[in-house]
Amino acid sequence: MKKRIMSFFMTALIFVLWACRVNNESSGIIGEPAIIPIPVKMKIEAGSFTIGQNTAIYCKTKDLLAPGKLLAAELGITEVREGFGKGVNLLTAGTEEKSLGTEGYKLTVSADQVTILANKVNGIFYGIQSLLQMLPVQKGCCQVSKPGSFQIKCVEIEDFPRFRWRGLLLDVSRHFFTIDEVKRMIDEMVRYKFNVLQLHLTDDQGWRIEIKSLPELTNVGAWRVPRTGLWWDRKSPENGEKATYGGFYSQKEIKDLIKYASERFVNILPEIEAPGHSMAAIASYPYLSSTGLKYKVNPGSKFYTIEDNSLCAGKESTYEYMDKVFTEVAGLFPFEFIHIGGDECYKGFWKECPDCQKRMKDNGLKDEKELQSYFVKRLEKILEAKGKKLIGWDEILEGGLAPNAAVMSWRGMEGGISAAKAQHHVVMSPVDFAYIDYYQGDPAVEPPTFGMLRLNKVYTFEPVPEGVDSSFILGGQGNLWTESVPTFRHAEYMLWPRSFALSEVFWSPKNSRDWAGFMHRTDVNLERMKQMDINFSTSFRDAIIQPSKDKKGNLLIQLDTETEGFELFYTFDNTWPDHHSPLYKKGEKLTIPNDADTFRVITYRDGKPAGKMITVSLAELAVRVR
């Protein structure tokens, strides 16, 4: 009896301690601040600093007033002054702090004041992002202006990024997103210290940027017939059907977006696809293809190898067209790189094109791969004449890489390895770790897409392969292709929290990876996102179903989770599982009861449902084994 009473009190004590821990950590007062990406160095001190509506923000120099005002808007503070005082202080170092580089910062919180010190203004900006992640979660960012005050823990942080390229891609061609939505994405990504946004502006399904010298690119190329349903299963455009779905950015809007991004230290990388993925351009100007036929902007129906979506590499008029496009794009975007795509170029029509074949013969090119290399090298010269550097997907390696080109490696790491060993700069963006348009949970409860990439695998991404000189690895990038992402709300669902993991991969030291700690910080930051009405996925809390078959061909089911601390309850009897249902024992293989046709499972944590209930037919699970 004594043991049972003692057990009861121990359980109650553990629960109380856990509740206090959760409450205190979510408030940002007790325990280690839940900062993503995790800082290089962080020392927790005793005490706290109180921030209220009367707290002043002091900027040591005038160039710090802009980030100071951004911070004031977040905190609901009206007073931003030049100088130094007992408040929040922003100052650049009088003598260069070499360890911080151009983007690092030191954040010191004492009982009297907060100080953010950096060599450059962008370092101050990143220190501000860490400070904002120390705010009490229950108040929510942008809600501090409500009456009252709150405390942040005293701390000393020294922090700087591992890589200078910390990127995300948003595909605005497959589905169009407004300027305001792109700005919202910038607001979200800078909180986690991303500094490059690649806009996939052109593809087979839409041309999204105004080119004044080529007006048909937006008059025709920006619009397609409306379709919903699965990508590649959609009906082709019909004769006489109006193209009403799409949109584009005017040059005025692009300039406004670039200004907005630059104020938040984000470089926007424009991508103009060539020579493949060019159906929208060819629909606008049919002379650009090898066939010269009239095509329509593709709505997501099958067309590859059937219709010619590659720019003709033989006609000189193609290069004149590219020069016009790049002249206007280079004049708009200040970033040093322009992305030319270069991937998945179907060359079958080139084989039948007299202009392409003549170009090959005149230049001693042995095959169409070398013709694509010739094409890319011509584009590189056009861009260099405009003061820009060329970057493209790793297919630009085929047939010989342009002399000064940088490579974005997506078909794995191999292309990046080859480019780096040839002393070309590389951005690592491999499909296995960085394609955040893929499933992040069981396909039975996720919107349809093309592959699987769970949060825990993203967190294992290492951008510098063994045996490669790290000086040639600029950094990494996560790519959100939008064939299956029709709304910005769903884009957020796909971005977060997998982009948390990418931010830590790109910023924090390699040896700081700690999955359990990252999961705790993820929970806190998702609660903050909830307060800010940002959509996100909790699929990492769902069960992982692993079907297999025994030697006799009988179906077996094994279960797992991405992280520890979950209980799994399941049913085979067509009822909804809860904490009274059978509890799964880790490692066991469940056998299928006679005549069962459906399996259901749900995760619990701390006595409450944690993930989505997954319902899947046993027939489907049997198919997954094949």
- Known catalytic residues? 203, 277, 344
CA 349 – CA 353 distance, rounded (Å): 6
Quickly tell me which residue has 């992640």 as its tokens: 133
Token digits for 348? Answer: 């079958």
Token digits for 617? Answer: 């037919």
User: How many Cα atoms are found within 13 Å in the side-chain-facing hemisphere of 84?
Assistant: 8
| Contact assessment for residue 140 and residue 528, using Cβ atoms and an 8 Å cutoff | yes
Token digits for 440? Answer: 């992040």
Cβ partners under 8 Å of residue 42, min gap 6: 32, 33, 35, 155, 156, 157, 159
Cβ partners under 8 Å of residue 395, min gap 6: 342, 343, 344, 345, 372, 411, 415
Give 556: exposed, middle or buried? Use CB within 10 Å, 0-12, 13-18, 19+.
Answer: middle
Residue type, position 290, single letter: S
Token digits for 429? Answer: 């963006």
H/E run at residue 23: helix 2-27
Residue type, position 220, single letter: V
CA distances in angstroms from 321 to 54, 247, 288, 295, listed in the order given: 58, 22, 8, 18
CA 333 – CA 257 distance, rounded (Å): 10
H/E run at residue 151: strand 149-159
DSSP 3-state of 285: coil
Cis? peptide before 497, omega within 30° of 0: yes
DSSP 47-108: EEEEEETT--EEESSGGGHHHHHHHHHHHT---EEES--SSEEEEE-SS--GGGTTT-EEEE
Residue 616's beta-bridge partner residues? 599
Quickly tell me which residue has 């897409």 as its tokens: 449
CA 56 – CA 148 distance, rounded (Å): 15
CA 118 – CA 219 distance, rounded (Å): 47
CA 403 – CA 190 distance, rounded (Å): 33
CA 67 – CA 569 distance, rounded (Å): 49
Q: Please provide the size of the chain in residues.
A: 626
